[in-house]
Structure 1
Amino acid sequence: MALAPFEWRDKPALIEHLFPVQKISAESYKEQMANQGKTLTALGSYWKGRKPLILNKACILGSLLPATDDPLKDLEIFELLMGLDSVTMQKRIEATLPASRRHTVGEYLLLPFNDQVRIAKRSEELGDSLFNHVWSKVNQHLGTSASSYLDLVEQIGIARFGRRPRLADTFSGSGQIPFEAARLGCDVYASDINPVACMLTWGGLNIVGGYPESRNFIAQEQKVLAQKIQQVVDQLGIEANENGWKPRVFLYCMEVRCPQTGWMVPLLPTRILSKDQNAIVELIPIKDEKRYEIQVKIGVTGDELIEAAKGTVRSDGRGQDPYLLHTVSGEEFRSKISTLRGDFRKEDGSTGNKLRGWDNSDFKPRPNDVFQERLYAIQWVQSKENPSAGKTKERFEFRSVTKEDLMREQIIEDYLEENFSEWQTNGWIPDMRIEMGYNTRQPIWERGWTYWHHLFNPRQLLLLGLVNRFSSARLKPAFFQLVQNNSKLSRWDNSGGGRAGVKGVFDNQALNTLYNYGSRALSNCLPMIFADYKSFPLSENINLLVEANPVDQLTKENDIYITDPPYGDAVKYEEILEFFIAWLRKNPPEEFKNWVWDSRRSLAIKGEDEGFRQGMVAAYRKMTQMMPDNGIQILMFTHQSGTIWADMANIIWASGLQVTAAWYVVTETDSALRQGANVKGTVILVLRKRNQELETFRDDLGWEIEEAVREQVESLIGLDSKVRAKGSEGLYNDADLQMAGYAAALKVLTAYSRIDGKDMVTEAEAPRQRGKKTFVDELIDFAVQTAVQFLVPVGFEKGEWQKLQPVERFYLKMAEMEHQGANTLDNYQNFAKAFKVHHFDQLMSDSSKANSARLKLSTEFKSAMMSGDAEIARTPLRALLYALFELSKEVEVEDVLLHLMENCPNYLPNKTLLSNMADYLAEKREGLKDTKTYKPDIEASCARILAEAIRNQRL
C-alpha cells in the first residue's frame, strides 16, 4: 500500500533524533582528501570550502526520512541508504583490491570503520548498482515501493510534503548541495548573488549532470574550439619555431632600473627553472648597455643549483620588505621594492606610491613605467610518434630567448594593438576597472594595474580572448579554469616530482602579484579546454532552476532549505571573483544572459559586524516565510569564532526559527589547515518554524534546559550502547554529546518568543555594543554552561565536578577524550570554548598536530606554570601533576606528599578530590600508545601510586 500524501506531515525527521556523525565525518574526510578526484572540482578548482557531497546526501536524506519509535532500525535504514553498512562496505573495499586478493576482504571488515573508509572506494565512484541490496529492507521499514533513490525521494516527499520535495540552496556557491539534491531526485532551486557561483552550479546540473547526448555535444564543441584557436595561432606564426618544436610554457619576469647603478635588473626570486632537469638561468652583464642577458643552463651541479636559488629579489625573513639585490664589478647594491615603487605616507596618515596607474588602453608597460616585463626563458616540447608502442613520446627542453622568439612576441603585440578596441567592445577581453577592496588593493598598489585585463600579458590576452570568443556556455567553466591558470598571477612551480608547471592564481584566496610567472602556450591550454568531467546524468523529470539573485528576491516556496552561508572570516568571493566576471560581463552566453554579471559587493553578506547579522537575518527570515509549516532548514557553519553560537542564536531567533538538533562533522583535511594548525569542522543546525508564541522566565529555563540536555544525552548514550552491544563501533564520543547538549539547550531557548518579558526577536535584532554582552549572549552562555555541566565524567560527583576550575574540567575531560581516541585539535578548541578556557594551548604538547593533538603529561609540565598568570596555576590539579612529575623522577613518596600539601590550596578539604583525580588519570592514561617522547603508561603507574598514597596518608 502506497504512502498517502501528507501521511508524514508532522513526523519528526531522522536528523532531528540521530545522525551517525563519526561515520559521516570519516566519509567526508575521505571525499575531501580526493582533491581533484572530487565530482565537481573540475568545473572550478578556484572555489574553496566545498561541503562534501556525502555530507549533503546525509543531510537531505536525514531531513526526509522519519524518526520512528525504533531508532536502531532507523539507523540501520539510514546507513543502508548512505552506503555505511557492512555489505556495501565489502563491495567498496573489493573494488580497490586486485581479483587475486578479494578473498581477503573479510580481514578488512574487521578494521575500525575509519580504516575501512580509507581503503574503500567512495560510494559515488561505484554507481547506484552498489545499492541494489538495500531496497527490500528500506521498503519494508518505510512502507515504500522504491527501487532507486528517485523513487524513494518522490514517495517520501509526497508522504511529508504532498509532492516531490522541493529543495533550495540560496547560497549555492559551487553547487555541491543543489547537485546532490538533484541526483537524489529532489526538485531544485539554486541561487547565489554571484554569477560565477551560479555558473558553477549550472555546470554541475547541466554538464556533470547532463545527458550522454549532451556530453557528446560538449566533446564536439571542444574539438571545434581547439581547431579555431589553432588556426589563428598558426596563421600568426606565434608559437612553433623554425625547427618544428612547440612551446609549452613562456616564462616572464618583471624588470626594473636600479636607482643606484642605472642598470636594468630582472626581478627573479630564484634563478632555478627546474629542479628535475637541473636547469637554471644565468645573468650575463652587458656593461655597455647596463643590462643583463639571460642565458639558460641545463644539467648544472648541485652546488650551482643551491647558488641559483638565491635570486635578485630577496627578503631577510617572513614579513620583511623584499629588496632588489645585484652585483656590479664585485659590489653589491640593494634597493627596497617599496623604494622602487616610491611608497610614501601622506599627511593624513594614509599611504601612496608613485606608480603610474595603467589606462584601459594599456596591455603592456610603457617605457617609463617602473616595472617592465620581460620574456626570459621558454620551455619547448618536441613530440615524436612511436607506432610500435602506440604512444607519443614528448621531449621537454628549456632554452634561452632568441631574436626569433622576440619577433613572435612583437607579432602578438601588433595584433592586439590593431584589434584591442574591437575585442573589448565585443566583450572578448575585459574592460572592467578593478574596484578597490581588501584583496583587490594588491594589484593596484603593487603594480599600478587598474583594470582586470592588466593582470594578463599580451600572449595570454590573445589566447584567452580567442577561447572566450569561440566558446559556448558549456565551455565557460573550462574557460574560467584556463583564465585562473594563465595569468600574470599564475606562478611557475620549479619543484620536482612531476609538480612543476604553471599553477593557478587561486592556490590561495588572494590576488598575489608575482615577480616572475608562467604563461601557457596553446598546447598547454588544450588539456583544460578538453576538460573531462565526471558524468552523473540527472533525471529528465527533475525541475531545476538556477538564478543569480539575492535571497530577498526568493518568490517560490520550498520544502527544504540546506544552506552553507558565508561566515565572518570567509573568503571574500565578492571581490576576487571579479577576476572572472570581467571576462563575461559584456557578452555572456545566452544561458547566462539574465544574470547580473557584477559581484554586487554592496549586497553581499560578509564580515562580522551588524551588516553581516542583519543580512543573515533578512535572508533566513525570507526563507522561513517561503517554507511550509512542516518545512525544515539545515544551516551549516564553520565553528571558529568564540561568539558564533550567540550570533547564530540571534539570527535564528530573529528569523522566526527554532533549533531542533545540532551535529558536528569534521569536513576539512590537513591541507586546509590555517595558522595554528586549526582543523575545521562543520556544525549542522536543524531548524523549524517557530509556530507558537511561548513565554517563560530565566529562573524556569535552568530546570527546563537541564532536563532537555539530560534527555538528549541519555537518548544518544542509550542508542550508542545498543549499537555497541550488537558488536558495532560506537556512534558518538563526548564531543558529539557536547554538541547534542548545545542543541538541546538551544532548542529550549529558541522555542520561546518572550523571556523575562522581553521580545526575543527585538532582542536578537538589537545592535551589539563593543565590549557589552547582550541579553541573548547571556542566555546562550547560561544554556551552554548548563549543557557542559551535565557531561560529568564517570568517577566524579556532580557537585565535586562543578567546584573545579574551568581549566581543570577541561584538562580532565580532554584526558577522557584522548582515552577514547578523539585526538583532533578541533575537539580541544571546542571544549576550551565551552569551558571558557582562554589559553588551552598552554596545556597542549608542543608536538600537537591537527589530527593527533594531545595534552601535556606531568613530565612535560615539569615545574612550569605552578604560579603566575597561567589559568592552571595554583589549582589542585596543577599540584597533582607536579606530584606525578616528582614520582616519575623517583622522589620519595613521603616527600612528594609533603610538596603536594604545600602546593595544593586547602589540601585537607581537597584530599578526596586529589585521590579521585589521580585514579581518574591512571585509568585514562593506561593503555595509550607509548612513543619515544610520550610515556602515558609511566604516568598511569605514578597516578595509581599517588592515589593510594593520598588515601593512606595519616595527618
Structure 2
Amino acid sequence: MKKKLIEVAIPLEAINTASIREKSIRHGHPSTLHLWWARRPLAACRAVLFAQLVDDPSSHPDRFPTPKAVEAERLRLFSIIEELVQWESTTNDEVLERARAEIRSSCGEDLPHIYDPFSGGGSIPLEAQRLGLPSYGSDLNPIAVMIGKSMIEIPPKFLHQAPVHLGAGGRTSYRYAEGLAEDVQHYGEWIRQRAFERIGEYYPSVEIPVGTNAAGGKKDGKVVAWIWVRTVPSPDPAFADVEVPLLSSFTLSSKKGREVWIEPIVDKNSKTILFSIRTGGTSAEIKAAEMGATAGKRQGFRCLISDAAITYDYIRTIGQAGKMGTRLVAIVAEGKRGRIFLPANDEHERIAHSANPEWKPRLVLQGKAQVNVANYGITTVGDLFTNRQLLALDTISNLISEVKKKIESDAISRGMADDARHLRDGGAGALAYSEAVSLYLSFGVSRLADISNAHCNWSRSANQAVHLFGRQAIPMVWDFAETALFSDMAGDFRTSLNSIVKALVRLNPASEGFEVQHDAQSMSYPENAVISTDPPYYDNIDYADLSDFFFELMKRNASDIYPDIFQVLATPKNEELVASPSRFGGKDAAESHFLNGMSVAIANMARGANSNFPTTIYYAFKQSEIQAEGISSTGWATFLSAVMSAGFQIVGTWPIRTERDTGLKVGMNVLANSVVLVCRKKISTAEVITRAEFIRALKRELPPAIAELQAANIAPADMPQSAIGPGMGVFSRYKGVLESDDSPMSVKAALQLINRELDDYLGGIQGEFDADTRFAITWFEQNGLKAGDYGTANNIATARGISVESVKHAGIVESQAGKVRVLRRDELDDKWEPGTDQHLTIWECLQHLVRLHEKDGISHATSVLLKKIGDKGEAVKDLAYILYDINANKRQDAKEAIAYNALIADWTELSRQAATVYDTRGDLQQRLDL
C-alpha cells in the first residue's frame, strides 16, 4: 500500500498562511453564494485533498532511492502545494493543471470519487471538483444541500454557455459559469425594477437641508438606512402612556473628526421625548449622552422621562404581552462625501408602518437560533422582520416565480432544448436552466434577509448596517438599522445578488459533481470513494435551528425545483448530530446522542472508504476547550476514541489555523482552529500490547517522526498537535493497550504519554549543542533573563565540562558581583559575524537571527545571516523549538514564544533565499586572486 504525502509531511505553514489570508477575501469567494456557518478554508481543503491523493516519494524507492532524493522530491511537491493554496490559483488553469497531473500520476486515469458526508457549506466537494475529481457531497440539512447543488452540481450542466437573456451580445465566448452568472445578474435586475414599480413608494428619499456640506447642495437624498429603537411603556405610573426608547447607544458615528450622536430632548410637562442629531460634540457631551443610554445596562435601562429603572424582567413582560413597539430615531442618507445623519420625521415613520405584507414566515425559533429573543415576544422567524422588510421579501419572491417562465422562453428562443426536463431529473435544457437561474435568485433573497431584518446592528465605526449572523446565534438587539431596498448599498437586492454573481463567475468545475440529501449514518458510499469530511463538532453550532431562518424563504422559492428536499415543514433536527441540551432533554442525553450517532457515522465511513487512500476528518477545536485542558482535552480524546472504535487507525494530525498568532496563549496551542485527522483502516490482525510495550514503541518511532516534522518546518506552536499523529499512529495500530492493572489505556492517557515523549525529545536534542549553549538553556529555564547566584551557575557549567568564564567569553552571559545573567538579544554585539567568531555558539546564532527577523522579517539581510550560519542552521532551528517550549509552557512568556514560532514559520522561505544569496565579497576575492 502506497503511503500518501499527507501521512508524512505537508507544508503546513504555507497552508495556514493562505487559510488566514482567505478570511479577508469576500469578493468572488464561494461562501458569498449563501451563508453557512464554520466553513473550512478552501485553501486547506484543496491542499489536504492533494496530499491525500498524491504518493509520498518514499513509496517509490525505485525512483527515489536515497533520503536526499526523497527529500528533494517532497520539496518539489511542497512547492506545488504552496502555489496551489494561493487564492489567485483558484482560477489559474496552469497551476490547477499541474496539481491535477500529479494526482493522475499517483492515481492513474481512473480517478477516485471524493465524498463528503457532512458537506455543509460545500468547501471540500468544491475543491475536489476544482482538482478534477468526481465530487460527491451529502447533508441532512436542506439549505446545505441547496448550497452544495449550487456549487458543484448545477454549474457543470451549463459550462461555457452564453447567456440567454435577449440583451446579451458582443461576446463570442464564455468561460465556466460566466454566462450563467450574467443571466442571474440580468434577471435579478429585471426583478429589482419591477419591485421598485410595486413597492418603491415605501422607500422614500429624504429631504436634506440645502447647504449641508456632504450633500453637495441637493435637496433630496438617497436613504441608506433608517435607525429604529424598540420601546416600552414607562414603568412609572405617572408616565404610563409614554413610549420610552431602549437605546443601547446614542452614538451614530464614532469616526474621528466625524462624530455624530443623538441628544434626547425630554419634556415632562408635555410627556414627550424627542431626539436631535448632534455633530462634533465635546467628549464630555458625548459621554454624558452615552451614560444616559447605557447607565445600569446590566440591570436594564432607565426611563428617560422619569428616571425610573426599566428592568429586563419588565421588558420581557411587555414583550411577551405584545406591547413592545418601535420608533424611528434617525435617518442615514448618502452624501457627496460620506454619510449624512438626519433626524427622524413622522412621514417616514408613517410610510414604514403602513406596509402590510401578505406573507410572513411562521416557523418557531428554536435552540441557539432564539438565544434570548423569545423572552421578549419574538418567537417566530417572521417576528425578526419589520412589515416593510417582509413586504420586500414577499414581493421579490413573487417576482422570482414570475421571471422563471420568462427565462425559459428566452432560453428556447436562443436555441436551448425545449425538453421539459427538470433540474432534479438531470435536465440541462431551457426548463432546467430557468430553474437554475431562479435558484440563484432565491439565494439573493436569503442574502437580503440576512442584512434586512430587525436584528441588524448599526456599526458606529464603519457607518453601515451589520448583517444578522455575525455570530452563530440570533441575539436580542434594542436599536437596529433597517436598510433601504433600492439604495445600491448593503440591503439592496442588487447588492445582495452582485455577491452571488461574483462567486459564480469564479466557479471553474473540472469534473462532474453530485449533492444529495442524506444522513451520514446510513449513507451508501459509491465504489472507489475517498472520504474527506468536516463533521459537526459537538455542541458548537445548531445548524438546523439557525438555518430555519432561511428555510421558509428557500422553500417558497425552490420547492417546485426540488420538491423532495422541501417536503418537510422545517429543517430536520432530531437526526442532526449535535449535542443540543435543549433539543434532547439535558446535557447527558445530548452528549450520548452525539457520540453514538457520530460513532455510527464514522464506522459507516470506515466501511465505505477506499482502502488504497487515507481518510481525512476535520476536528474543530473550541478555544475554551484547549485553554481548559490543552491537547489532551476530554472532547478531543473522546472524538479520537470514536474514530478508532469505528475501525480507523490514526496516522497523522495536522493543525489548520485561520487566525494569526495574536491569539497565542502561553502554555498551550490555541492557534489551531481545527485539526485534520489522517486515518487508515485498521488491519484485522491488530494485537493487544502492554503499557510498557507502547512506551517502548513510542520511544522508538516518535523521535524520527518528530525530526521529519521539524524538517518540514512545522511551527513550534503546531508541533504538539502535529506530533499526536505519529504518536496516535502507534496507539491506534493495536487492538488495545493494557495498563498495569489490565484495564484498557484511555486515549487521554495515550495523549499525555505522547506529549511527554515530545518533551523528552526536545530535551534530548540539547546534547547535540555546544556546552555553552546547553548551559544557557538550563540557566534561562531556571532564571529567565534575571540574575542568579554565581555558585549555582558554576555548578551547572562544571557539569557540562566548562566554566562560567567560558560562557562569558562566548558573549552570551554577564557575570559580575557574584551574579550571572543571560544577556538580552539587544545586548549582544551588533557587529557580530559568525565567520570570525572564535567562540561560536548555537545560542548566539539563534539570538542574532531572531533579532534580525523581528526587525526585518523575511529580508535579504536575514537570509544572508542564515547563509553565514551555514551548517549550524539545523541546530539553530532545533534550539528555536526548545526555547519556544520553555517560554510557552514553563516561563509563560508569550512574546518570546511568538518570536521563536515566527522564525520557524518563515524558515522555509529564509532557507530558500539563503540558498540564492550572492556572496559579493567571496566573488571579489576570487577575482583579486586571479
TM-score range, shorter chain: 0.5 to 0.7
**Contact 2:138/2:145 (CA < 8 Å) preserved in 1?**
yes
Return the letter of the residue paired with 1:753.
Answer: K
Which structure 2 segments of 5+ residues have no match?
65-69, 157-175, 208-218, 401-437, 580-589, 626-632, 790-803, 822-840, 856-878, 887-930
Q: Give matches, 1:679-718, under 5 Å.
A: 679-698=671-690, 699-716=692-709
Per-residue CA deviations over 1:748-801 (Å, capped at 9, x if unaligned) read 22122244499x9x97xxxxxxxxxx6443344334434543333433599x9x
Q: Give matches, 1:766-781, under 5 Å.
A: 775-781=746-752
Partner of 1:546: 515
* 460 and 334 in structure 1: CA distance in 2 versus 1, 3 angstrom threshold: same
- The whole-number CA distance in structure 2 between the counterparts of 1:322 and 1:670 is 37
* 862 and 407 in structure 1: CA distance in 2 versus 1, 3 angstrom threshold: farther
* Structure 2 residue 558 is the aligned partner of structure 1 residue 588: yes
* 37 and 929 in structure 1: CA distance in 2 versus 1, 3 angstrom threshold: farther
Return the letter of the residue paired with 2:607.
Answer: Q
Return the letter of the residue paired with 1:434.
Answer: L
Task: Give the secondary structure class of the aligned counterpart of 2:456.
Answer: coil
After TM superposition, the structure 1 stretch with the greater mean CA deviation from structure 2, 258-267 or 483-492, is 258-267
- The whole-number CA distance in structure 1 between the counterparts of 2:132 and 2:361 is 39
Shift of 1:218: 0.9
* Structure 2 residue 759 is the aligned partner of structure 1 residue 785: no
- The whole-number CA distance in structure 1 between the counterparts of 2:669 and 2:262 is 37
Partner of 1:95: none
Task: Give the secondary structure class of the aligned counterpart of 2:729.
Answer: helix
- The whole-number CA distance in structure 2 between the counterparts of 1:409 and 1:53 is 42
Q: Give matches, 1:191-210, under 5 Å.
A: 191-205=138-152
Residue in structure 1 matching 2:44, options 48, 55, 59: 55
Task: Give the secondary structure class of the aligned counterpart of 1:354.
Answer: helix
Shift of 1:681: 3.9
* 890 and 672 in structure 1: CA distance in 2 versus 1, 3 angstrom threshold: closer
- The whole-number CA distance in structure 1 between the counterparts of 2:267 and 2:708 is 81
Partner of 2:302: 324
Task: Give the secondary structure class of the aligned counterpart of 2:503.
Answer: coil
Shift of 1:669: 4.0
Shift of 1:684: 2.0
Which structure 1 segments of 5+ residues have no match?
1-9, 89-116, 132-146, 342-352, 359-365, 383-392, 424-428, 721-729, 764-773, 801-807, 817-842, 844-855, 864-879, 898-918, 944-955
Per-residue CA deviations over 1:631-662 (Å, capped at 9, x if unaligned) read 42111223453234422331121111111222
Partner of 1:219: 185
**Contact 2:788/2:820 (CA < 8 Å) preserved in 1?**
no
Task: Give the secondary structure class of the aligned counterpart of 2:766.
Answer: coil
Residue in structure 2 matching 1:654, options 614, 622, 645: 645
Partner of 2:29: 39
* 511 and 716 in structure 1: CA distance in 2 versus 1, 3 angstrom threshold: closer
Return the letter of the residue paired with 2:362.
Answer: D
Partner of 1:17: 8
Partner of 2:333: 380
Residue in structure 2 matching 1:314, options 294, 307, 310: 294
- The whole-number CA distance in structure 2 between the counterparts of 1:539 and 1:691 is 39
- The whole-number CA distance in structure 1 between the counterparts of 2:126 and 2:46 is 10
**Contact 1:649/1:750 (CA < 8 Å) preserved in 2?**
no
* Structure 2 residue 657 is the aligned partner of structure 1 residue 638: no
Partner of 1:144: none
* 282 and 792 in structure 1: CA distance in 2 versus 1, 3 angstrom threshold: closer
Task: Give the secondary structure class of the aligned counterpart of 1:280.
Answer: strand
Residue in structure 1 matching 2:352, options 391, 409, 414: 409
Task: Give the secondary structure class of the aligned counterpart of 2:55.
Answer: coil
* 126 and 606 in structure 1: CA distance in 2 versus 1, 3 angstrom threshold: closer
- The whole-number CA distance in structure 2 between the counterparts of 1:152 and 1:894 is 64
Q: Give matches, 1:76-95, under 5 Å.
A: 76-84=75-83
* 230 and 669 in structure 1: CA distance in 2 versus 1, 3 angstrom threshold: farther
Partner of 2:496: 528
* 406 and 205 in structure 1: CA distance in 2 versus 1, 3 angstrom threshold: same
Return the letter of the residue paired with 1:326.
Answer: L
- The whole-number CA distance in structure 2 between the counterparts of 1:443 and 1:712 is 52
Partner of 1:449: 378
Partner of 1:479: 445
**Contact 1:23/1:731 (CA < 8 Å) preserved in 2?**
no
Shift of 1:182: 0.7
* Structure 2 residue 466 is the aligned partner of structure 1 residue 503: yes
* 337 and 205 in structure 1: CA distance in 2 versus 1, 3 angstrom threshold: farther
**Contact 2:275/2:329 (CA < 8 Å) preserved in 1?**
yes
**Contact 1:256/1:266 (CA < 8 Å) preserved in 2?**
yes
- The whole-number CA distance in structure 1 between the counterparts of 2:397 and 2:846 is 62
Per-residue CA deviations over 1:375-404 (Å, capped at 9, x if unaligned) read 22222347xxxxxxxxxx687533333332
After TM superposition, the structure 1 stretch with the greater mean CA deviation from structure 2, 524-533 or 221-230, is 524-533
Return the letter of the residue paired with 1:546.
Answer: E
Per-residue CA deviations over 1:669-717 (Å, capped at 9, x if unaligned) read 4798999994334322211111323113213222222222134234455
Task: Give the secondary structure class of the aligned counterpart of 1:795.
Answer: helix
Return the letter of the residue paired with 1:374.
Answer: R
Partner of 1:870: none
Per-residue CA deviations over 1:386-428 (Å, capped at 9, x if unaligned) read xxxxxxx68753333333223312431xx33xx3xxx2xxxxx
* 922 and 381 in structure 1: CA distance in 2 versus 1, 3 angstrom threshold: closer
**Contact 2:303/2:309 (CA < 8 Å) preserved in 1?**
yes
Q: Give matches, 1:251-266, under 5 Å.
A: 251-260=227-236, 261-262=238-239, 263-266=242-245
Shift of 1:494: 2.2
Return the letter of the residue paired with 2:469.
Answer: F
* 493 and 738 in structure 1: CA distance in 2 versus 1, 3 angstrom threshold: closer
**Contact 1:738/1:791 (CA < 8 Å) preserved in 2?**
no
Shift of 1:24: 2.1
Per-residue CA deviations over 1:610-636 (Å, capped at 9, x if unaligned) read 333222211111111122332421112
Return the letter of the residue paired with 1:603.
Answer: E
- The whole-number CA distance in structure 2 between the counterparts of 1:547 and 1:182 is 16
Shift of 1:152: 5.4
Task: Give the secondary structure class of the aligned counterpart of 1:553.
Answer: coil
* Structure 2 residue 536 is the aligned partner of structure 1 residue 562: no
* 292 and 379 in structure 1: CA distance in 2 versus 1, 3 angstrom threshold: same
Residue in structure 1 matching 2:223, options 235, 247, 266: 247
Return the letter of the residue paired with 1:405.
Answer: H
Partner of 1:399: 342
RMSD value, Cα? 4.3
Q: Give matches, 1:706-745, under 5 Å.
A: 706-716=699-709, 720=711, 731-734=713-716, 738-745=720-727
Partner of 1:794: 765
Partner of 1:602: 574
Shift of 1:30: 2.5
**Contact 1:562/1:634 (CA < 8 Å) preserved in 2?**
yes
TM-score, with length taken from structure 2: 0.67
Return the letter of the residue paired with 1:929.
Answer: R
Shift of 1:249: 0.9
- The whole-number CA distance in structure 2 between the counterparts of 1:275 and 1:624 is 55
* Structure 2 residue 266 is the aligned partner of structure 1 residue 285: yes
Task: Give the secondary structure class of the aligned counterpart of 1:310.
Answer: helix
* 213 and 926 in structure 1: CA distance in 2 versus 1, 3 angstrom threshold: closer
- The whole-number CA distance in structure 2 between the counterparts of 1:483 and 1:232 is 19
Per-residue CA deviations over 1:845-869 (Å, capped at 9, x if unaligned) read xxxxxxxxxxx9444x999xxxxxx
**Contact 1:254/1:266 (CA < 8 Å) preserved in 2?**
yes
